[in-house]
Each structure stands twice: as C-alpha cells, then as structure tokens.
Structure 1
C-alpha cells in the first residue's frame, strides 16, 4: 500500500486534485463580494505550486512504461511534433465542431471558454494559467499518467480513448467530442515522440492562440 501511494502516477494525480479543489476551501472564510477575486488568485497560486510539484516529481521519479523507457528524442523532434500537434489539434477541433453542430445540433460556443475569457479579461495574469500552467498539468495527468500507464495494459487505442474521454469530462461543458479529439491528438503526439514535452507544447500553443485571438475579437 505504501509503495502504491509513493508511485509517481498517484502523486501526479493527487497534485492535480489538490490544485483543483484547495481554492474552494478558502471561500467559506471570504466575504461574498470578494469570493470571485479570491478564487481566481487562489487557483493561480495552486496551479503554480501544482505545476512546480509535478515538474519536481517528474524529475525525481521513474515512470516505468514502454513509452517512458524508449530513447529520448532530439529537441528538434520535440519542437517539430509540438508545432505539428497544434495544427492537428486545430483540424481535429474544427472537424469535431462540425460534427457536434450538424449531427448532434449542439451550440457552437463553449460556456467553459467564455467563462475563462471573461476571467482573463478582468484578471490578465489568469492567461498564464490558461496558456501554460493548465496545459502542463493536464498533459502530465491525462497523457503521461493515464495514457502512459494504460498503454502497456490495454494498448495505444484503448489508452487514448480512456485518457481522451477523461480529459473531455473534466472540462464539464458538454462538448465531449471536441475535447476528445484534442485528447487523441495529444496522445498521438506523446506516442510519436515518447516525450511529454511535445504534447505540452502543442496544448500550450493551442490554448495561447485561441485565448489571444478570442480576446482580440472581443
């Protein structure tokens, strides 16, 4: 049991859960008029600490699976696939949007995205969470931990399905297909490079471009 708790897979997931839920613990002690502001800054602090803890855990731990045991790719390979992954994620997203709209008649907009943009508009530093901290933490959890662990258990396709669906459900805005497509792309990039840095680059670039473009539009 003790060895299981010490597993880097479990540590990464626990760090993510704490970063998500600890900010809510301070709200009961905060005046109602200040709760949103406190929530934003508490979330940013928790994500900064969570990202640092994940990077430290990753550096000090061994993730024993066939992906992580593969030879490390060259930096040029990581950067190439990181950029290519961004393009693939955009293509996958547009295909998923079309399917959701024309087949399932779901609205084009995302409430989750709108809420994030409103927060960034009021608190510009929140863009750091959207563009860097969030992608780093999510790629460690959904790709390195979930996809990486399941890869040797049920194979690449099964691991990609489960990790992508988990990635979609955690966003909780009803656009399961869109986030699942993105999760598949990031899983594919991780599989191709055997380096979590590549999907982190793809995810961070995509979030940054969407956020900046949306803010300029609005």
Structure 2
C-alpha cells in the first residue's frame, strides 16, 4: 500500500472515532439533544475527513487519467444498473439471513441513522453522499485495490467486503453488507472507475434513507400488520392443528 494511502486510512479511522470526544464537546457547549449533537458532529467530521482524504489523493486523481478505463457511456450504464444490482444483492442476502439463519428483516444501524436524520435532515448528506464516497475510496479503491494486485477477485472482494461489513458494527447483518461490498467491487473492476461504485452506492443509500424517512409511518404500520398476522397464524396453528 502506498504511503499516502496509509494516511488516508488513518484519517478515516480518526474520523470514525472522533465522535467519542466530539459529541460530548458539543453537549458541553449547549446542545442538549444528544441525537442532534451526534448529527452535527458527524456532519462536521465526515466533511472534514472527505476534504483531507481528497487532498491526500491528489496524485491518484492525476494518475488515473493514464489508466485504461471503460468509456463514459459504459460507465454510465454500470453506474445506473449497479444501483439495481446492489439492491438485488441486498435483497438476496436479507432473504438468506431470514430463511436460513432466522434473522429478522431490518437493521438497527439503519434505524439509528434514520432517527438522526429525522431530528437533523441535513444529516442525510452524510448517509447518502459523503459516507458512500468515503467508503468506496477506503474499501474499494484502497483496500480492495491493494488486495486485487496480489490475489484473485474473489479473495480480494471477500476480504475487503467482510471488513467493510464489520466496520458498520451491525454484525447480525454481515452477509448483507458483504454482498453489497462484492457488488461495488465488481462495478469497480468492470469499469476501472471508482466513480461508478460511488454513484451506485450514493444512489442506493439515498433511495433507502429517503424511503425510510418519508414512508416511516407507513412502514411501521405494515410491520405491525405483518406481526399481527404472524401471531394470528401461530395461534390458529397451535390451537387447531
């Protein structure tokens, strides 16, 4: 791994853990609502981290023009199709988790982020734009890119995707995050343009977050109806079958 890439990784790690000190600091400065303090700090830290990382990657931005990459029309196609590919991979992984391992649909991590977005709408910029950009730079361009130089696609994608999944701290849904990692790694290799998985990731996150925020009440009602129906079926089965 290049020295500047190590600096990028360190910057990302510092950014991730900065809330340990940053959030209490904002609370001490008068922000009583902790969720609002978390949102403001994450907006600040992610934006700052993105600026620093882009500055560190200036050399990479210059070098990329000399690499063999897909044409712009092909890149646009895969960026657009990649959104559906990522959603499909996520759906398949969620179904496997539910049918094979009995893991319920839904993610506590996503629910937490949605709650923050509801209190501070500007936070959607972090979950939908800045976060995906940083994750694609770290986990696809740097981590996967480094591993892909030594190993085949499957091994490089597997290792980088599992680490990508673990960083989200939602260990119940490791399979879902890993499936997404595989998809974005495929898009990167297919086009040799990091902007392609970035666009797909941004679009997917934006879609998921907006659906969760805009249709939050309807989703909760649907979940309650499903739970009631399941309870009724269980009652009938245990009593009369």
1:8 corresponds in structure 2 to 4
1:21 corresponds in structure 2 to 17
Q: TM-score, normalised by structure 1?
A: 0.90
Residue 203 of structure 2 is aligned with which of 175, 185, 205?
Answer: 205
**1:100-119 alignment runs, 5 A limit:** 100-119=97-116
Counterpart-to-counterpart distance in 2, 1:179 and 1:75: 28
Residues 117 and 62 of structure 1: is their aligned pair in 2 closer, same or farther, counting only changes over 3 Å? Answer: closer
Any stretches of 5+ residues in structure 1 without a counterpart?
none
Q: TM-score, normalised by structure 2?
A: 0.81
2:53 corresponds in structure 1 to 54
Counterpart-to-counterpart distance in 2, 1:87 and 1:155: 25
2:226 corresponds in structure 1 to none
Higher share of residues assigned helix:
2
Any stretches of 5+ residues in structure 2 without a counterpart?
217-241
Instruction: Give the C-alpha shift of residue 62 in structure 1.
Output: 7.4
Residues 125 and 147 of structure 1: is their aligned pair in 2 closer, same or farther, counting only changes over 3 Å? Answer: same
Residues 140 and 41 of structure 1: is their aligned pair in 2 closer, same or farther, counting only changes over 3 Å? Answer: same
Counterpart-to-counterpart distance in 2, 1:192 and 1:75: 13
1:168 corresponds in structure 2 to 165
Question: Which aligned runs of 4 or more in structure 1 are off by greater than 3 angstroms?
Answer: 27-36, 61-64, 67-70
Counterpart-to-counterpart distance in 2, 1:203 and 1:27: 27
Which structure has the larger Rg over C-alpha atoms? 2
Counterpart-to-counterpart distance in 2, 1:81 and 1:190: 10
Structure 2 contact 35–119 (Cα < 8 Å) conserved? no
